[in-house]
């Protein structure tokens, strides 16, 4: 298994928003989706998903309703709200700026060395 990097604080919420923005999902599906997108590069302690989901729901970034899952089980489906979409855009921009900034710095260090 590839070496999975630990999540920076707050990034789990960002990943959840991204995963849910692609379509409503229940908790386990969100986990699978994140692992799928990141090709297993990110390790998530599965349980930590739920406090993050509840936080996002309380902040009004996600909404939820009960539905039926793929094999006919009752499941809680999360979907992104308009506020959630806005936050996702802001966070994505912020993340991109940060990560490009960081990689620029890292690259500069490599060349000078």
Contact set with other proteins (CB under 8 A): 26-28, 31, 45-55, 58, 66, 69, 73-76
Which whole-number Å values give the CA distances from 16 to 28, 44, 65, 78, 107, in the listed order? 11, 11, 17, 10, 29
Q: How many residues does the chain have?
A: 113
The two tokens of residue 105 are 């710095």
If the CB atoms of residues 41 and 102 are measured against other proteins, the closer one turns out to be 41
Greatest Cα pair distance, the chain, in angstroms, is 59
Q: How far is the CB of 89 from other proteins (least distance, A)?
A: 23
- Distance between CA atoms of 75 and 98, rounded to whole angstroms? 36
Q: How far is the CB of 108 from other proteins (least distance, A)?
A: 39
Cβ 24 to other proteins shortest distance, Å: 14
Which is nearer to other proteins, 14 or 53 (by Cβ)? 53
In the block, tokens 């599906």 appear at: 29
Our CB check for other proteins shows the closer of 58 and 112 to be 58
Nearest distance, CB of residue 27 and other proteins, angstroms? 5
């Amino acid at each position: 298994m590839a070496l999975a990097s630990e999540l920076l604080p707050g990034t789990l919420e960002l990943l959840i928003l991204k995963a849910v923005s692609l379509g409503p999902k229940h908790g386990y599906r969100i986990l699978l989706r994140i692992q799928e997108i990141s090709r297993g590069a990110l390790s998530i302690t599965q349980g930590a998903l739920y406090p993050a989901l509840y936080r996002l729901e309380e902040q009004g970034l996600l909404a939820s309703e009960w539905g039926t899952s793929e094999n006919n089980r009752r499941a809680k489906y999360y979907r992104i709200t308009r506020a959630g979409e806005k936050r996702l855009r802001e966070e994505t921009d912020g993340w991109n700026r940060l990560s490009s900034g960081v990689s620029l710095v890292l690259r500069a260090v490599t060349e000078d060395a």
